[in-house]
Amino acid sequence: MSRRLPSLSPAATITACLLALAALGAQAAAPAGPRQLPVDTGTDRLIIKYRNGAGPSSLSVPALRTMRSAMAARVAANRHGVTMNALRQTAAGAQVFRLNRRMSLGEAEALAASLRSGDANIEYAEPDRLMHALATPNDPQYASQWHWSDTTGGVRAPAAWDVATGTGVTVAVIDTGVRPHPDLAANLLAGYDFITSASSANDGGGRDADGNDPGDAVAANFCGAGSGASNSSWHGTHVAGIIAAVGNNATGVAGLAYNAKILPLRVLGRCGGYTSDIADAITWAAGGSVSGVPTNTTPAKVLNLSLGGSGSCDTTTQTAINSARAAGSVVIVAAGNANTNASNTSPANCSGVITVASTGISGGRASYSNYGSVVTLAAPGGDSGNAILSTHNAGSTTPSTDNYAGLMGTSMATPVVAGIAALMLSTNDTLTPDQLSAMLVATVRSFPATCTQCGAGLVDAAAAVQAAHDAITPDPITVSEAESNDSLATAQAVASLPATVNGSIGSVGDADHYRISVPVNKTLSITLTGAAGTGPGLGVYSALGRKLVERAGTVGQSLSWTQANRGSTALTLYVRVLRSAGSTGNYTLTLGI
């Protein structure tokens, strides 16, 4: 059945979005999924393909030692501190080499680049990457959660789970409160009840520290003359389960960020909830201060608002959203379920929020979903018999048996995006709300079916999480100078950036050379600092050996240079350090990106 929670007045209240309730399917056992693996497990192998059969004809390294290619391979490997042993030949004629230690993919790619640049006979060289089975939770009803993995309308959750599962992230569910469902309880934090109206709260009082949902059922005319009767929705419990129902516990369903924590904030009761209460909850959720309410010791970086009402975005709500964003929290809201333009739905039309439309299993706009220019993107919310399965309760008025149910609405699509946001922050906790929003938009899939005015596209969990991971600024590696690196031809490769190179100029004529690969759209910063009494000089050269800059050193002063890569492929640069002023001695070469 479908239901709408009536409002007290358009100006004073916001009501929960429309829902449709579907029957609960039977549980079926599922095999345990593979363990989660980190993004970069590295490799201890390389694949090399030589041109026109010019490469080694034997897989025995001793037999290769008289060959130019074998010599070039040994020189490149020495620069990277590894040895290579031929292992086998592939069906395509490439050779697989085993390394004596495991390297990160970045290090292995740098070694491959060294091989390619040092031997014209190489057609390609690349890491022999390790692949892994995509993570699949062992929850029995996972197979019924089409929205996670359906190839057409799903969000590609299994690939995202190989990177992150939400660990370390708190998501505030600003809703009807949450039931301590056994498939959710382990991920629930102590929440708060922000409802100030005792009549609406239905728990015997006003605001308190109990975020549990006592039910929001009403009799006919309770919310005003002519208003209808309705059973309890358990709306917040369903929303919370989409985000963070416990995964891999061999029970029920799996939330998208199944290792994240839920902060349940109760703002919707019987007949809905007041704007002023919701605004206070938004502020408090992000760590702000609310008079008469204890300090929030578990602020949330993701705020889910599966609620809405008609009208423009009011100042009270916008101010609360602004404060949450200033605190570093992303605010994700439902577009609404009236099949109309969301420009007249609040808080969907507020500034700074991620507004979510709903799609069905076809990937097209759900029949009920709002649309329009204020919509940021779309996510699965269910339609046409394919509901979103999540945690629920069997009670028609007061709480009863915990169960699972399928609901449809932008209320369901919104926590899908909130769950993805949690995965992204679990991967990269430095993301700002604007950065996270931009990544979500930049990584969407094209709609597989018609979804006019549904925003940028269909949200893609795997692509969004990977973008968050790729934006991580890695810790600098430390590199020690390795001789012989006295010329461009014998330049020592720096495996990854940023890096700190510790070297030494040992004689007046000594010069050290380093080869660096600058990724597309990145800028390399170089700082050369000599030890006391030294003044080393700095040179930078292109891949073809063309001098880009050469600066003489001054004792006691550092030299710096930046070089941007605006091309479409990685930029190879050579950095030269030489004696220029003062005595010989140690230096530090800092390479940032």
Task: Just list the catalytic residues.
Answer: 175, 235, 411
Cα angle 23, 27, 33; round to 5: 130
Distance CA 269, CA 278 (A): 12
Residue labelled with tokens 């605010």: 331
Per DSSP, 144 falls in state G
Cβ within 8 Å of residue 531, ≥6 positions away: 585, 586, 587
Query: Nearest 10 degrees: CA dihedral of 206, 238, 288, 302?
Result: -170
Distance CA 110, CA 132 (A): 23
Residue 271 tokens, joined: 């007949």
Distance CA 293, CA 276 (A): 14
For residues 332 and 267, the answer to whether their CB atoms sit within 8 Å is: no
For residues 90 and 55, the answer to whether their CB atoms sit within 8 Å is: no
Amino acid occupying residue 1: M
> Which residues on adjacent β-strands are paired with residue 274?
13
Length of the chain: 593
> Which residues on adjacent β-strands are paired with residue 47?
96, 126
Cβ within 8 Å of residue 329, ≥6 positions away: 172, 285, 286, 287, 299, 300, 301, 302, 303, 433
Residue 14 tokens, joined: 């916001």
Judge residue 197's burial from the number of C-beta atoms within 10 Å of its C-beta, 0-12 exposed, 13-18 middle, 19 or more buried: middle
DSSP 339-387: SSBGGGEETTTSTT-EEEEEE-TTSSBPTT--BSTT--EEEE--BTTB-
Cα angle 62, 67, 72; round to 5: 95
User: How far, CA to CA in Å, does 344 sit from each of 45, 312, 313, 374?
Assistant: 58, 6, 8, 10
For residues 275 and 314, the answer to whether their CB atoms sit within 8 Å is: yes
For residues 234 and 213, the answer to whether their CB atoms sit within 8 Å is: yes
HSE-up of residue 566 (Cα within 13 Å, Cβ side): 3
Q: What are phi and psi of 24, to 5 degrees?
A: -80, 130
- Identify each DSSP E strand in 267-317 by its residue range: 273-274, 302-305, 307-310
Cβ within 8 Å of residue 537, ≥6 positions away: 550, 551, 552, 553, 559, 577, 578, 579, 580, 581
